[in-house]
Amino acid sequence: MTGETDLPEPDAAPGAPHPRHAAQLFGQARAEAAFLSAVRSGRLHHAWLIAGPKGVGKATLAWRLARFLLTVTDLETAATLDPAAGHPALPRIAALAEPRLKLIRRGHDLSGREPRLRTRITVDEVRALAGFFGLSAADGGRRVVIVDAADDMTPNAANAVLKLLEEPPQGAVLLLVAHQPSRLLPTIRSRCRVLPCAPLDAAGLAAALDQAGCGDGAAPDALAALAGGSAGRAVALAMEGGAEAYASLVTLMSGAPGLDRAALAELAAACAGREAQPRFDLTLDLIDLLLHRLARTGAAGRPAPEAAPGEAAMLARLSPGLRAARVWAETTAATERARRGAAVNLDPAGLILDTGLALDRAAGRAAAP
């Protein structure tokens, strides 16, 4: 019988190491400096909201802060957020075995025939903190809780966290990772200090890709444009050949309206069959990205930084203004239909073919006077 410890960790990007194992954090020096300044001033707040887009290193920052808080004794004289070298808690933190650290994340539902990842953090997972804070503590009672991601909490779970924020246990520090802070209760946000995390630039993404072990052969400039500064997204694209697949999509769309039917049929055929499900998902994701970039080009009056050869010219031609931008924004319904079709086992190749033809028709509307 499969146990939860045998399953992939729910808060790790597929193919990438878990954030607690990341040796370095890239691109978030401002957030690190803000936390260190608060610590050195003697004003260590009991709750921190680590906010920003997905994949920019928020969880990696949370784990870096946890290691620092649990291994450095004199916080007010610390020059960096580096943990105390050789501290015995470090291997325990890496193994999720440190008694002064609690990770709250989505769990797996093991009641069915196949394990299934829950979509939300339940109140039971938060209630487990009562026992965690009830244990005796060393180092003056300092404890750290990481909630990743706070956006995933059910209303009951969020209310349970709010109670902790209203009456925090002595020495407790809560680190809430949030992709969309606006989804959290205002009363949770108001009780946290915010550490905003920014998208990474091309150099930061390249370094993050190298650390994740998938930097060889990656095109950092193209991935930076496609990933929107998200290292998590860049890792996924690099592992799936996303930059090359997007370049092929740009080449195809450069002929619109009037797509090369043979090239479209070849793209559809590559998505046929159950074993090609990852390629089908990637293709739809990249079409969504292309539609977003087309709409943004028309709205902004200029193309975004080029993510593939010839993309800037294609974007400028197919989305010259606001009217075209609206056409492309409306065309996102095509990928939604394809996903719904896949959910009821319609032919993936046919769905991609239909989506490509929808894009071609949209190109005709966008180009019409």
Q: Which two tokens stand for residue 238?
A: 């690099």
Domain boundary, last residue among 136, 161, 196 = 196
Quick one: 182 and 304 in the same domain?
A: no
Per-residue model confidence (pLDDT) at position 202: 79
pLDDT digits (tens, 9 = 90+) for 100-131: 999 999 987 777 677 777 889 999 999 989 88
187 and 281, same structural domain? no
Asked whether residue 215 is domain-assigned, the answer is no
Question: What is the radius of gyration, based on Cα positions, of the chain?
Answer: 23
Whether residue 11 is contained in a domain is answered as yes
Instruction: Give the pLDDT confidence score for residue 329 in this predicted structure.
Output: 96
> DSSP readout, 247-292?
HHHHHHHTT-SS--HHHHHHHHHTT-SGGGHHHHHHHHHHHHHHHH
Distance of CA 23 to the CA centre of its chain: 19
End residue of a domain, out of 196, 228, 249: 196
- Domain assignment present for residue 290? The answer is yes
> Is the domain of 126 the same as that of 19?
yes
The tens digit of pLDDT for each residue in 298-340 reads 999 988 888 889 999 999 999 999 999 999 999 999 999 999 9
User: Are residues 318 and 364 in contact, defined by beta-carbon separation less than 8 angstroms?
Assistant: no
Prior bond of 257 cis (ω within 30°): yes
- Cα–Cα distance for residue pair 362/356, rounded to 1 Å: 10
Alpha-carbon distance of 193 to 31, in angstroms, equals 11
| CATH number, domain with residue 43 | 3.40.50.300
64 and 151 share one domain:
yes
Range of the domain at 327: 241-367
Do 127 and 41 lie in one domain? The reply is yes
Closest CA to 228 of 297, 292, 177: 292
In the chain, which stretches have pLDDT less than 50? 1-3
Final residue in a domain of this structure, among 167, 196, 225: 196
pLDDT of residue 135: 67
For residue 88, what pLDDT is reported? 95
Instruction: Return left, alpha or beta for 27; rule: phi > 0 is left, psi -120 to 50 is alpha, else beta.
Output: left
Q: 359 and 292 in one domain?
A: yes
Report the domain count for the chain: 2
DSSP secondary structure string, 24-55? Answer: ---S-HHHHHHHHHHHHTT---SEEEEE-STT
**Residue 139: what pLDDT?**
53
Tell me whether residue 188 is in a domain: yes
- In sequence order, which residues have a C-beta less than 8 Å from that of residue 100 and are 6 or more positions away? 70, 89, 137, 138, 139, 142, 143, 144
pLDDT at 1: 43
Q: What integer pLDDT is reported at residue 359 of this predicted model?
A: 97
Handedness of CA 315, 320, 321, 327 (dihedral sign): negative
d(CA 305, CA 324): 19
- 76 in a domain, yes or no? yes
Residue 153, SS3 per DSSP: strand
The reported pLDDT for the residue numbered 83 is: 96
- Average pLDDT of the chain to the nearest whole number: 89
